[in-house]
Structure 1
Amino acid sequence: MSELEFQLVKTNGMTLHAVTAGPRNGPLVVLLHGFPEFWYGWRHQIKPLAEAGYRVLVPDQRGFNKSQKPEGIEPYTLDTLRDDVIGLIKLYNRKKAHIIGHDWGGAVAWHLASTRPEYVETLIAINIPHPAIMPKAMLTLPLQWLRSSYMAFFQLPEWPEKLLSADGFDGMAKGIKLSASTNQAFTQEDLDKYKEAWAKPGAMTAMLNWYRAIRAGLPEGFAQPERIQVPTQIIWGVNDPFLSKKLAKKSIEHCENGKLTFVGEATHWVNHEQPMIVNQLIANHLKVVGS
């Protein structure tokens, strides 16, 4: 990890903390983390991509870790989060980039590819469905509603922050570790780094505001989104306790040029649990455009 570069960058009116690696003139790969992670969640993917010749950009998304944390829920709508990524692509003097997202980062990646595909070379979504799928799934898949019930709890003011931060975030850290398929997915050192990020002033509220911004409504035209035209790879840990495999199958139906790969012995945290498999799938997909 010694070859990483740490920067503060301006995009879309925000100051974001970002990590970069790899040759400066290489094709740009943007890695977008989800909740409750930060750039460190991609630690197993950064070096292989950099060594393969890609310029790797991994931001702490707004509200997370060392990035700016605007107040309120309006700054965390999908259109705004998408525009952060567009700003980063322009900042690094590229017309487009390979976009890889996990969890909420994947939702941003899907939305970017759906609404502003001119900025996307290829798309990889890891254990996150196309955002248009979720509202329908909550109505038609009762078990999915139960799996996603935590999202309703996150809508409450203050109580989620108090619960998640109790005992120095110990419960939150244990929850991540226990939801993984192996104890090795998150070491104590890893969890300590997460706790440090969560403890940043204002971070927990800002992170939860990603969920609360759902109340602001989905972007216009979201009910009937454009089909994804860019080459798309969905990677899905089969034992995800939060998201049904049916969501992955529904999502691939939105892709003109898509591939869905289920990964065994993996959960929502597949990029931590099976990094060699995920890294190979990423490498294979990026080669579809000959980069």
Structure 2
Amino acid sequence: MTRWSSGGLTFDLRVGGPADGDPVVLLHGFPQNAAEWDGVTARLNAAGYRTYAPDQRGYSPGARPDTVDAYRIDHLVADVLSLLDHLGLASAHVVGHDWGAIVAWHLTARHPDRVRTLTALSVGHPRAFVTALRSDPDQRKKSSYIYFFRRRWIAERALLAFNARLLRGVFAGAGLSRDEVDGYVRPLRERGALTATLNWYRAMRARDSLNADPVRVPTTYVWSDGDTALGRTAAEATGTYVESDYTFVELEGLTHWLPDQAPERVAEIVLERVSAPAR
């Protein structure tokens, strides 16, 4: 574990693989942390890639600003740019899951010169998602939890009550052991941690997604048919917003927690993307 600082915040960072390997930045989702990538990075490192998996804003103990506005997508994207600058990298391959995928889509759309390839897991292009949320009853049902997460203090109390039973229940169907779930839940029981991570939801704005540009770098999007949060409508529409080489991978019989459930398959998909010759 190492760290970097930016704008008065200090972020934790997991680094692996050969120092001269092509760089891959992996962005985790909620309510996880960089540990979700451990099974994936081991395989990427063995293939010769250098991996960087940060605990993002709100998840790193040294990077928990108090205000909701501090978690706007502009700041989340800026954090990744600061990481690249800290590492001295002009660009890197970027992989994101869940909220990490949202950050990765916005980063790639806004700064295509900093992203060599994009691999997004579970969450499709922001415009595809918001459009589906407005028009597809199935997606509205799947996303109903967001309104709960946006309720300040009420969500925290409910999620952490009874030894964080509800928060632990989020991982139902993921196939994780109790110890593995504890590895995600324990850091969020620290003072202020869960509020900081829920502030990602409270800071989200529809206009940020609707204004997201198409991406113009080689992209792979991975969606699972058992995902309880992301539906088929947005998944199938995502390719509309990619103006480059694009691959859509649908995984059958898996839920939302792809890096935990199928690290071998995820690593294989990432390797296919990052090793593909530029077109």
TM-score w.r.t. the length of structure 1 is: 0.91
- The Cα shift of 1:74 comes to 0.8
1:259-278 correspondence to structure 2 within 5 Å: 259-278=247-266
Aligned partners of 2:15 and 2:261: how far apart in 1? 23
The Cα RMSD (Å) is 1.5
> Could you tell me whether the CA contact under 8 Å between 2:43 and 2:264 is conserved in 1?
no
Aligned partners of 1:289 and 1:92: how far apart in 2? 24
Aligned partners of 1:119 and 1:210: how far apart in 2? 23
Aligned partners of 1:52 and 1:11: how far apart in 2? 31
Paired AA for residue 128 in structure 2: I
2:73 is the counterpart of 1:87:
no
Q: Match for residue 108 of structure 2?
A: 113
> Could you tell me whether the CA contact under 8 Å between 1:8 and 1:17 is conserved in 2?
yes
Aligned partners of 1:263 and 1:45: how far apart in 2? 16
Aligned partners of 2:162 and 2:52: how far apart in 1? 33
Q: Match for residue 185 of structure 2?
A: 195
Deviations 1:37-57 (A, max 9, x none): 001111111111111111110
- Percent of residue pairs bearing the same amino acid type: 32
Q: Match for residue 207 of structure 1?
A: 197
- The Cα shift of 1:158 comes to 0.5
Q: 1:173 to 1:89 in 2, by over 3 A?
A: same
Deviations 1:192-217 (A, max 9, x none): 211211112211000100000015x6
- The Cα shift of 1:11 comes to 2.8
2:34 is the counterpart of 1:39:
yes
2:234 is the counterpart of 1:247:
yes
Structure 1 unpaired stretches of 5+? 1-5
2:144 is the counterpart of 1:162:
no
Aligned partners of 2:31 and 2:68: how far apart in 1? 17
Paired AA for residue 239 in structure 1: G
- The Cα shift of 1:8 comes to 1.8
- The Cα shift of 1:65 comes to 4.6
Of 21-30 and 60-69, the range deviating more from structure 2: 60-69
Aligned partners of 1:118 and 1:196: how far apart in 2? 37
Structure 2 unpaired stretches of 5+? none
Aligned partners of 1:195 and 1:248: how far apart in 2? 28
Aligned partners of 1:65 and 1:174: how far apart in 2? 23
Q: Match for residue 218 of structure 1?
A: 207
> Could you tell me whether the CA contact under 8 Å between 1:138 and 1:144 is conserved in 2?
yes
Number of equivalenced pairs: 277
TM-score w.r.t. the length of structure 2 is: 0.95
- The Cα shift of 1:108 comes to 0.2
Three-state SS of the structure 1 residue aligned to 2:170 is: helix
Q: Match for residue 214 of structure 2?
A: 227
Aligned partners of 2:236 and 2:7: how far apart in 1? 33
- The Cα shift of 1:67 comes to 4.3
